[in-house]
Amino acid sequence: MMSKPLILVTNDDGISAKGIEVLIRTVQKFGDVVVVAPDKAQSGMGHAITVNHPLRISRSKLFNDIEAYSTNGTPVDCVKLGIYEVLNKKPDLLVSGINHGANFSTNVLYSGTMSAAVEGAMENIPSIGFSLCDFSADADFSGAQQIVEEVIQLSLRNPFPKHVCLNVNIPSIPKEELKGIQFCKQAAAFWDDRFERRQDPFGHDYYWMTGNFREIAVEKDTDLFFIKSGYATIVPTQFDMTAHTVINDLKNWK
């Protein structure tokens, strides 16, 4: 790429999260940055888009040297608004995150961070979602920052696969203990949900979703395995959800 790449930045924790600030400051070294991000936390929004109420977009003053916008939309809305309303063209690179919390395994389905990257892949824009395996608002992003730099460099230097995005997860360990990066597949695991029932001051029940993450099959070449072993992981991620191998079995249904 000869000229400076145009980089669109979004996230799902909202424009004031620490993670997006770290991401902006890191990718700024590599190109011209425009930010379109949710005005509030949109965790767990998956691939949601806004169809039942109108979208608003306004210039944010959070980053004085950066063209940044906040919206009332979801992360996927932010990507669509970024391309079709703010930039009026496709960026050279789309980055999402850095998410406060892991998005390995089937979390990719629930994650607004990754859904923004998947939306970029649908548009055939090189797109990367970054997540740090630490939910705290003031998490230490120094290891993550190093991985972001490395992955952006790799992505700009190599042919990016078409209609595929990268799901990058970084373990929550001190920078010095990071063992490197592994390209691998999504682990087969899921949330074993429970609901915590409480009563409001008026005597009515309400529920908070809680749960543990449980592996269906423990395999060695998965993101979950490598994260536990101290590696950052990159899962190339696509949007064909067809279970190709069972189509022929189903054709025999009587």
Which one of residues 154, 173, 175, 219 is an interface residue with a copy of itself (CB under 8 A)? 154
Choices 15-23, 31-39, 172-180, 182-190; region in contact with a copy of itself by CB under 8 A: 182-190
Q: State the nearest-atom distance from the C-beta of 157 to a copy of itself, in Å.
A: 7
Q: What's the one-letter identity of residue 223? A: D
Q: State the nearest-atom distance from the C-beta of 119 to a copy of itself, in Å.
A: 8
Nearer to a copy of itself, 62 or 188 (CB): 188
Give the span between the Cα atoms of 70 and 67, in whole angstroms. 11
Q: State the nearest-atom distance from the C-beta of 173 to a copy of itself, in Å.
A: 23
Q: How many residues bind a copy of itself (CB under 8 A)?
A: 73
Which residues in 97-134 are b (16+ Cβ under 10 Å) and which e? bbbbbbbbbbbbebbbbbbbbbbbbebebbbbbbbbbb
Which one of residues 52, 64, 212, 220 is an interface residue with a copy of itself (CB under 8 A)? 52
Which one of residues 4, 179, 207, 228 is an interface residue with a copy of itself (CB under 8 A)? 207
Q: Which residues, 125 to 144, sit near a copy of itself by CB under 8 A?
A: none
Q: Which residues, 82 to 121, sit near a copy of itself by CB under 8 A?
A: 83-85, 106, 108-110, 115, 118
| Residue 214 touching a copy of itself (CB under 8 A) | no
Whether the ω angle into residue 98 lies within 30 degrees of 0, i.e. cis, is yes
| Residue 179 touching a copy of itself (CB under 8 A) | no
For residue 108, report the phi and psi dihedrals to the nearest 5 degrees. -55, -30
Which one of residues 6, 25, 55, 215 is an interface residue with a copy of itself (CB under 8 A)? 55
Rg (Cα) of the chain, in Å, rounded? 19
Q: Which residues, 9 to 38, sit near a copy of itself by CB under 8 A?
A: none
Which one of residues 163, 172, 215, 219 is an interface residue with a copy of itself (CB under 8 A)? 163
| Whether 141 contacts 13, CB under 8 Å | no
Q: What is the dihedral of CA 92, 97, 103, 104, to 10 degrees?
A: 50
Q: Which residues contact 184 (CB under 8 A, 6 or more apart)?
A: 221, 222, 223, 225, 226, 233, 234, 235
For residue 44, report the phi and psi dihedrals to the nearest 5 degrees. 70, 15
| Residue 57 touching a copy of itself (CB under 8 A) | yes
Q: What is the dihedral of CA 58, 63, 67, 68, to 10 degrees?
A: -40
Nearer to a copy of itself, 6 or 154 (CB): 154
End-to-end CA distance of the chain: 55
Q: State the nearest-atom distance from the C-beta of 102 to a copy of itself, in Å.
A: 14
Nearer to a copy of itself, 198 or 228 (CB): 198
